[in-house]
Amino acid sequence: MSVEQITGRYLTVDVAGRTQRIYFEEAGQGRPVLCLHTAGSDTRQWRHILNDREITAENRIIAFDMPWHGKSLPPEGFLTEEYLLTTETYMETVLAVVRGLGLDRPVLAGVSMGGRIALQLAVHHPEAFSGFLAIEASDFQPAWYSIDWFHRPDAHGGEMGAALVSTNISPYAPAAERANTLWMFMQSGPGVFRGDLSFYTQDESLVGQLHRIDTARTPVHFIVGAYDFTCTPEDAQRTADQVVGSTLSIMEEVGHFPMSEHPKAFRPFFVDGLAQMPKARAVVS
């Protein structure tokens, strides 16, 4: 028998004029590190990092479910609305969590669409963070598929989405973790993966903005898996090249969901990324 060190609670905040009840998990103490899940999934993707006693000895790891995801319910009135995530709402949600939890310039670690919004925040709101880990992150990824495939009455969008994203899981990933990673997609609410993909595959607003990031004030470190065929190492490199002073690491045996699909292979890269972030509260003049 064992009891994990992760604790979960709810935060209620206003985002873009709507009340959102947001579920978050945390573990550890010290430097705050706010972690963002991928599209169509939730905080459970970060379970291994949250349970890592060495990492949490010096870092307060926090992860939250975006509204409509995991244990964060959709807002009141959702049954008659179409969920479409936007850059503005996404940034505002992350900033609301930072303020709501009283986090003092956390490191922001985002994966996939979470990595995209981390870069957006590095451009538009760097003052709220001490550094950025952009994992499986790029400036823009147009889709070869129709996002409408994943919300239709004659098929299970979650199962279709899981099968699609399995393209991006490494064959080196342990079978159990591969299955767990896919299960979260299968559980995604109707239309939620589609709404996330709308942001991820159609919003080009980051293109041409990355030169504005000042890595002397907020360092940016990219991490990408060789088996990621949504955001390939070439996509991440192209993006990193636009962020002067950023660094990039490639994980040879990992795909698009590193912290969930292959935690053992991801861990050293995450630890290395954290080591490149400011140790504690940085003084910014």
Partner 1 sequence: MIERMKRIQADLDHLPHLHRLGALFSETVQIKVDGQEFYLVFEKGRIAQLLEGPSKKTPYRFSFVTDGAALEEFWTATPKPGFHDIFAMVKIGRAEIMGDILLLVKNLRFFKEVLALPRAQREVAE
Site string for partner 1, 11-50 (x = CB under 8 A): ----------------------------------------
b/e per residue, 94-128, with b = 16+ CB within 10 A? Answer: bbbbbebbebebbbbbbbbbbbbbbbbbbbbbbeb
Size of the chain, expressed as the number of residues it contains: 285
> Footprint of partner 1 on residues 53-112 (CB under 8 A)?
none
191: helix, strand or coil: coil
Site string for partner 1, 162-201 (x = CB under 8 A): xxx-xxx-xxx-----------------------------
- Of 37 and 178, nearer to partner 1 (C-beta) is 178
Number of residues that bind partner 1 (CB under 8 A): 19
Name the segment binding partner 1 (CB under 8 A); options: 37-45, 119-127, 157-165, 263-271.
157-165
- Of 167 and 202, nearer to partner 1 (C-beta) is 167
CA nearest neighbour of 279 among 116, 59, 1, 87: 59
Return the axis-axis angle of helices 113-124 and 87-100, rounded to nearest 10°. Answer: 80
Site string for partner 1, 113-152 (x = CB under 8 A): --------------------------------xx--x---
One residue of 11, 226, 248, 282 binding partner 1 per CB under 8 A: 226
Beta bridge partners of 18: 15
The count of other CB atoms within 10 Å of the CB of residue 93 is 22
Minimum CB–partner distance for residue 179 and partner 1 (Å): 12
Minimum CB–partner distance for residue 107 and partner 1 (Å): 29
Name the segment binding partner 1 (CB under 8 A); options: 3-11, 98-106, 109-117, 161-169.
161-169
Q: Are 35 and 110 in contact (CB under 8 A)?
A: yes
Which residues neighbour 241 within 8 Å (Cβ) at sequence distance 6 or greater? none
Beta bridge partners of 31: 59
Q: Tell me how far apart the alpha carbons of residues 50 and 191 are, in angstroms, rounded to a whole number.
A: 28
Binding residues for partner 1 (CB under 8 A): 145-146, 149, 154-155, 159-160, 162-164, 166-168, 170-172, 226-227, 229
